């Protein structure tokens, strides 16, 4: 029988197989003898807090993509009750618009067609030129008003304490601002303050620097809570502390909007299949240890902790991806009801998984992880709803994922080629050779993966 992660027996009886997305197949057997068996689905009828973890390059971002595209493939009447917001830190999700022709063999084995999705990609207003130059196909821009930042946001993003003179000056400036102010108004106010002579210059420099982040402007935030919408927020060219700030503002808005809507919905409507006025959001956060780390507070820490703890009522689901689960805030990890763990080797990371789900003390998580075959996208799943542990292989993606860590070089090559209007001439000789080399390595790896997958299936 198929597995539905995140759905307990009672919901299985009520909903059957409605409101689920296919994410992979069960893996049976150890190491090289492992083979694929029944389908594994993920419940999207209830809000969940999930963590996807694993070593570098094991398939975390890919798995996030599987969830995002799964939400798009739901029947319309369910899809339109949900919406998806991907926080893209590596600039790899805009390629969801393109069908995954590269993995056509693997997709065929799973009886899946290559399909592109209607992803709305948004980039910060002040960075549009950089994205255009890099050849990124974005759909719009977003920006914030300085007044949308709270005093804590400013202090946190500048790394200041409220009690130090610079922090005090900043708070005084903010206190004197009236509605609809710009950074320039803050600078003039800082200059006009009495005292703080040595701090004024520093604060002015910080504020001018903030104006250069490219996140303040007039385009504001596009509507994200739209039925069935998949929004990709590309944070890849923004420094980390500013990324956290952007996520904090976006998250606060989503939370407020859903909470207001939730109040209007009748109790019965809280059930997924009831009428939801504002769609129920799934927020997918890549590299989440940078947004809610265990050892420090970032501008987004408080908001994410709030969503994780109180998000069930307004019906907000969050999926965090991280290389190091132990670096994720323990409160966040402990609220997860589903963990998808790709291969992990650091002992502390494996232990952090054990410590959050006491039930799994009965299982030897490290043993399960060691039994995973050396294939991309294999994982163990800890499901607190059924209190079970599964070994799975994630499915291949319908759409074309970006090749991270390589993007700007990659596009540089094509941009130059296009600029010169000729196929060959614009190729940067060294980068091009490197790109071709990477491509052929990837191709060989894919061939090997699909070969071993076929062998597994034959062996079944
Ligand atoms: N389920 C899968 N099926 C086939 N290939 C996969 C699967 N998962 C991952 N891969 C392959 O592994 C590569 C690396 O995956 P991905 O970028 O998701 O890793 P990651 O864990 O997010 O790495 P990082 O920690 O560097 O962000 C992908 O480009 C893809 O080719
Ligand atoms: Mg990744």
SS3 content of the chain, % helix, strand, coil (to 5): 45, 20, 35
CA 37/CA 25 separation, integer angstroms: 6
Tokens found for residue 177? 């601002």
Please indicate whether residue 377, judged by its CB atom, sits closer than 6 Å to ligand 1.
yes
Q: Nearest bound ligand to CA 60?
A: 1
pLDDT at res. 34: 79
Q: How far is CA 313 from the centre of its chain?
A: 21
pTM for the full predicted model? 0.85
Task: Pick the residue whose CA is nearest to atom 15 on ligand 1.
Answer: 59
Strands (DSSP E) contained in 154-289 are 230-234, 280-285
pLDDT at res. 271: 55
pLDDT at res. 407: 42
- What average pLDDT values come out for the chain (460 residues) when binned by 10 residues? 91 91 92 85 95 94 95 94 96 90 86 90 94 90 94 93 94 91 93 90 94 89 95 94 95 93 65 69 97 94 95 93 94 93 91 74 80 91 90 90 44 40 43 58 68 64
How many angstroms separate the alpha carbon of residue 376 from the centre of ligand 1? Answer: 7
44, burial (CB in 10 Å: exposed 0-12, middle 13-18, buried 19+): buried
How many angstroms separate the alpha carbon of residue 57 from the centre of ligand 2? Answer: 7
**Cα-only R_g, the chain:** 23
Strands (DSSP E) contained in 54-201 are 82-88, 119-124, 140-142
Please indicate whether residue 394, judged by its CB atom, sits closer than 6 Å to ligand 1.
yes
Tokens found for residue 121? 């990609």
| Residue among 376, 395, 401, 442 to mutate when testing ligand 1 (max atoms within 8 A of CB) | 376
pLDDT at res. 419: 42
Q: Tens digit of pLDDT for each residue in 390-426?
A: 999 999 998 876 554 334 433 443 344 344 433 444 4
**Domain locations along the chain:** 45-143+220-394, 146-211, 407-459
Contact 250, 221 (CB under 8 A): yes
CA 247/CA 71 separation, integer angstroms: 21
State residue 358 phi and psi, 5-degree precision.
Answer: -55, -35
β 338-341/378-383 pair status = antiparallel
Tokens found for residue 168? 């005090």
Contact 234, 123 (CB under 8 A): yes
**Residue 404 CA: which ligand 1 atom is closest?**
17
**Residue 396 CA: which ligand 1 atom is closest?**
3
Please indicate whether residue 58, judged by its CB atom, sits closer than 6 Å to ligand 1.
yes
Please indicate whether residue 277, judged by its CB atom, sits closer than 6 Å to ligand 1.
no
CA 386/CA 54 separation, integer angstroms: 22
Contact 190, 166 (CB under 8 A): no
346-355 per-residue burial string, b: 16 or more CB within 10 A, e: under 16: eeebbebbee
CA 370/CA 30 separation, integer angstroms: 9
pLDDT at res. 365: 87
CATH topology of domain 45-143+220-394: Rossmann fold (3.40.50)
**Residue 445 CA: which ligand 1 atom is closest?**
31
On the CB side of 90, how many CA atoms lie within 13 Å of its CA?
Answer: 22
Q: Which residues contact 412 (CB under 8 A, 6 or more apart)?
A: 134, 428, 431
Contact 110, 396 (CB under 8 A): yes
Please indicate whether residue 258, judged by its CB atom, sits closer than 6 Å to ligand 1.
no
How many angstroms separate the alpha carbon of residue 321 from the centre of ligand 2? Answer: 8
pLDDT at res. 413: 37
How many angstroms separate the alpha carbon of residue 257 from the centre of ligand 2? Answer: 29
């Amino acid at each position: 029988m198929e597995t539905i992660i995140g759905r307990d027996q009672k919901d299985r009886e009520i909903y059957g197989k409605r409101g689920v997305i296919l994410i992979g197949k069960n893996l049976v057997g150890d190491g090289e003898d492992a083979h694929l068996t029944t389908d594994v689905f993920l419940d999207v009828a209830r809000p969940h807090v999930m963590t996807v973890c694993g070593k570098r390059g094991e398939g975390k971002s890919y798995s996030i993509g599987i969830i995002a595209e799964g939400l798009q493939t739901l029947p319309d009447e369910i899809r339109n009750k949900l919406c998806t917001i991907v926080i893209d830190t590596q600039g790899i999700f805009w390629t969801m618009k393109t069908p995954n022709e590269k993995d056509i063999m693997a997709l065929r084995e799973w009886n899946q067609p290559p399909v592109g999705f209607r992803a709305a990609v948004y980039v910060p207003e002040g960075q549009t030129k950089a994205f255009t130059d890099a050849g990124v196909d974005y759909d719009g821009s977003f920006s914030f008003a300085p007044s949308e930042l709270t005093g804590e946001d400013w202090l946190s993003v500048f790394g200041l304490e409220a009690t130090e003179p610079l922090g005090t000056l900043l708070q005084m400036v903010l206190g004197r601002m009236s509605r609809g102010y710009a950074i320039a108004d803050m600078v003039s106010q800082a200059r006009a303050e009495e005292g703080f002579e040595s701090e004024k210059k520093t604060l002015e420099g910080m504020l001018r620097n903030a104006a250069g982040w490219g996140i303040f402007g007039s385009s504001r935030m596009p509507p994200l809570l739209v039925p069935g919408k998949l929004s990709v927020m590309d944070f890849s060219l923004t420094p980390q502390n500013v990324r956290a700030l952007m996520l904090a503002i976006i998250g606060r808005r989503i939370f407020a909007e859903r909470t207001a809507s939730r109040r209007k919905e009748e109790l019965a409507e809280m059930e997924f299949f009831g009428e939801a006025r504002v769609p129920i959001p799934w927020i997918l956060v890549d590299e989440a240890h940078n947004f809610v780390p265990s050892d420090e507070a970032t501008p987004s820490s408080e908001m994410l902790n709030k969503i994780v703890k109180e998000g069930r009522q307004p019906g907000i689901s969050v999926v965090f991806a991280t290389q190091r689960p132990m670096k994720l805030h323990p409160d966040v990890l402990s609220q997860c009801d589903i963990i998808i763990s790709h291969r992990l080797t650091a002992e502390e990371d494996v232990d952090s998984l054990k410590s959050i789900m006491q039930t799994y003390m009965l299982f030897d998580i490290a043993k399960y992880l060691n039994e995973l075959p050396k294939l991309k996208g294999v994982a163990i799943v800890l499901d607190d709803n059924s209190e079970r542990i599964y070994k799975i292989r994630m499915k291949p993606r319908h759409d074309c994922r970006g090749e991270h860590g390589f993007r700007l070089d990659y596009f540089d090559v094509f941009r130059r080629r296009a600029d010169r209007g000729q196929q060959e001439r614009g190729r940067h000789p060294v980068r091009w050779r490197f790109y071709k080399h990477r491509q052929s390595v990837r191709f060989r790896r894919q061939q090997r993966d699909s070969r071993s997958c076929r062998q597994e299936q034959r062996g079944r």
